[in-house]
Amino acid sequence: MPQFEENESYQANFRRLDEYAGRNGLVFNADSERVNKVVGLMTRNFVEFGHYFCPCKQSHPLDPAKDTRCPCREIDEEIAAEGNCFCRLFYRPMN
């Protein structure tokens, strides 16, 4: 997979997710490789399909009519139950 970190689309998506995290009291996974992979794949979905489809919950091939967009509707429940979302992108901060 090509590295997206320097790509303008990747940076816009990362900022969008960072703002979401800040508004919702979340933090990114401390594993930067995981973050880069998930954000990169999500960015690729956006470039190809026009929406930020969740790469961890998508069907193969991706189905724009049915697949989940990030942040997903289940994120609050997942974080409440597990401390992180399904993708392990967002975490509840450790106090």
0.85 cut: is pTM over it? yes
pLDDT grade, residue 94 (50/70/90)?
confident
Assigned domain for 3 exists: no
Assigned domain for 13 exists: yes
What CATH number is given to the structural domain containing 38? 3.90.460.10
Assigned domain for 2 exists: no
Query: Quick one: pLDDT at residue 2?
Result: 47
Distances in Å between the Cα of 92 and the Cα atoms of 36, 53, 95 are: 19, 22, 9
pLDDT grade, residue 1 (50/70/90)?
very low
Count of structural domains, the chain: 1
Cα–Cα distance measured from residue 74 to residue 44, given in angstroms and rounded to the nearest whole number? 22
First to last CA, the chain: 35
Bin 18: left if φ > 0, else alpha if -120 < ψ < 50, else beta: alpha
Model confidence over 5-63: pLDDT tens digits? 669 999 999 999 999 999 999 999 999 999 999 999 999 999 999 999 999 999 999 99
Assigned domain for 57 exists: yes
Tokens of 53: 């489809």
Q: Which domain does 74 fall in, by range? A: 8-89
